[in-house]
Amino acid sequence: MNVKLAYGKTGHLIELSDSYDIDIIEPRWVESVKDQTLAITNALLDPYNSRPLSDIVNQGDKIAIIFSDITRATPYNIILPPLLYELRNIPKENICFFCANGTHRLASDSELIRILGENIVRDFKIIQNDADDPELHKYVGTTSSGNRIYLNKEVLNYKIKILTGFIEPHFFAGFSGGGKALIPGMAFVKTIKFNHSISHLSDNNVSWGITEGNPVWEEIMEAAEFVPGLFLLNITLNSNKEITNVFAGELRAAHEAGCKFTRQSAMAPVDELYDIVITSNSGYPLDLNIYQTVKGMSAASQIVKQGGVIIMAAECWDGIPSNSDYEKILNSVSSVDDLMNFIKANESTLKDTWQIYFQALIQQKADVYIFSDKLGESTIKKALFKPVKDISRLVDEIVTEIGLTAKICVLPEGPQTIPYLKK
């Protein structure tokens, strides 16, 4: 049996014996809309619980368009032309693009062109959020859980804030999209840390596909609503990165509709847990570094047995990444057993512990191997994972040890499919 895993831009083919007990779980295929540009236009003209965008904006208004960073596959080459057409009466100098970096590194000039296109970068003002700079952020309110919300003060100066992005299952916010463009996208690091704190992440409702009752998602949406003038423009994508639906309008109504649509194609129940789960991180651009691959591992961990094996295929052309809190934490411990203790003891002084927290949980449950032709074995081991050069051979070795009763699951699209154990 040959299976192609989403890997980088090209994919990675593995061969598994037909004698093995294998399940392959992929997103339910959803055809793209017939005319993707028209779908964007129609959504802007007939939004959820809102007047059309062109009726909301006035010629003198300042408009902020908040966009996803290089880690996301949002097809802005399709989204932006119809969006800007609806804003055609607004002078270009009144429109600013804001990159929702969160705690991710800032994009390079070439990466901004890759995301937005050369014409946008040339013709419009672009501001990237630097979460570490307190001078760039302004207090807007305190959530019911006590989080003081600081957002980029420049974006607050714009009357209309158009939040863009795509909706997919998220391993601790339930689903992406919605208010995540603001928190963490345009937020100050202390606001992000509170929202992503271990006290929140340890809640039972913090998981894939859960929004209501999830303290991370609830706080994101509550905080976003401190900001006036929001208009959501979210899309959903199939595995070919084609637009399958568009959700525009009032924040909660549009996002709820998008989450409902996504659940139908992306959540997959299974009857029992697996000895081996082979997964990817959805290919380019999400598999750019080890930090991001924790998402694919988290999807696999939902259905792997305690003491089982997760095998991750991720290109990781951007490394760990370097010069990050993630790397700093990894350099401070020598074993998975030390990892959780270290981050709990040092959470207050570290900028970014949430990805490491989930990595520790996953590795306490299963052995995790990483296949990458861009990383050396020493780099993978530094991140406390096990390197593998040949996935097929590794599976053969594990099955030989367990026996042909070993149950294997393959998630070719990684976290584009979120399996869960039937209850």
From residue 380, alpha-carbon distances to 71, 278, 342, 376, 385 in Å are 20, 17, 20, 7, 6
Query: Which pLDDT belongs to residue 353?
Result: 85
Query: Which pLDDT belongs to residue 72?
Result: 85
Return all residues near 228 (Cβ < 8 A) that are at least 6 apart: none
Entry pTM: 0.87
> To the nearest 10°, the Cα dihedral for 85, 86, 87, 89?
90
Q: Is 364 strand, coil or helix?
A: helix
Query: Which pLDDT belongs to residue 208?
Result: 93
Query: Which pLDDT belongs to residue 416?
Result: 85
CATH 3.40.50.11440: which residues of the chain? 36-265
- H or E element in which residue 141 lies: strand 137-142
Classify residue 93 by its DSSP letter. G
Q: What CATH class has 36-265?
A: alpha beta
Q: In the chain, which stretches have pLDDT less than 50?
A: none
Determine the Cα–Cα distance for residues 167 and 264; give it in Å rounded to an integer. Answer: 13
- H or E element in which residue 82 lies: helix 76-86
Query: Which pLDDT belongs to residue 221?
Result: 97
Is 327 exposed, middle or buried (CB count within 10 Å of its CB: 0-12, 13-18, 19+)? middle
Please tell me the CATH code under which domain 2-27+267-421 is placed: 3.90.226.30
CATH 3.90.226.30: which residues of the chain? 2-27+267-421
Query: Which pLDDT belongs to residue 105?
Result: 85
Query: Which pLDDT belongs to residue 355?
Result: 86
> To the nearest 10°, the Cα dihedral for 121, 127, 132, 137?
-170
Query: Which pLDDT belongs to residue 354?
Result: 85
Whether 314 contacts 286, CB under 8 Å: no
Whether 345 contacts 353, CB under 8 Å: no
Whether 69 contacts 100, CB under 8 Å: yes
